[in-house]
Amino acid sequence: MADASESAENKIPQLEAMVGKDVEMKKQLETDVKNHEADREAAKTSIAEAHALGEKEATVATASGDLKTNIAALAKAIPAIEEGMGSGFL
């Protein structure tokens, strides 16, 4: 019984050291989780901004296409109008 008691007494510092390491590891993991959550929120914000930018680009592309179509139509219409008016207008 004395041997068992002495063996248990010798294990106490080892177990305390293990508990201390586990506590430190838990604190580190909690810090890591907080950092990863912040990174996740930043990534969500970046994704939302990218989607918004993509929508703006699509709107600009649509407007640009409309303007190019209108310019092309005017480029055809102006000479036709000038021909129709002839020199009588001047």
Q: Is the pLDDT of residue 43 over 70?
A: yes
Give the percent of the chain with pLDDT over 70.
94
The distance from CA 23 to its chain's CA centroid, rounded to whole angstroms, is 34
- DSSP characters over 30-80: HHHHHHHHHHHHHHHHHHHHHHHHHHHHHHHHHHHHHHHHHHHHHHHHHHH
Rounded Cα distance between 54 and 43, Å, is: 16
Determine which helix (DSSP H) or strand (DSSP E) holds 19, and give its type and residue range: helix 2-85
Range with the lowest mean pLDDT among 6-10, 29-33, 43-47, 55-59?
A: 6-10
pLDDT average, residue stretch 52-75: 94
Q: In terms of pTM, does the model score above 0.85?
A: no
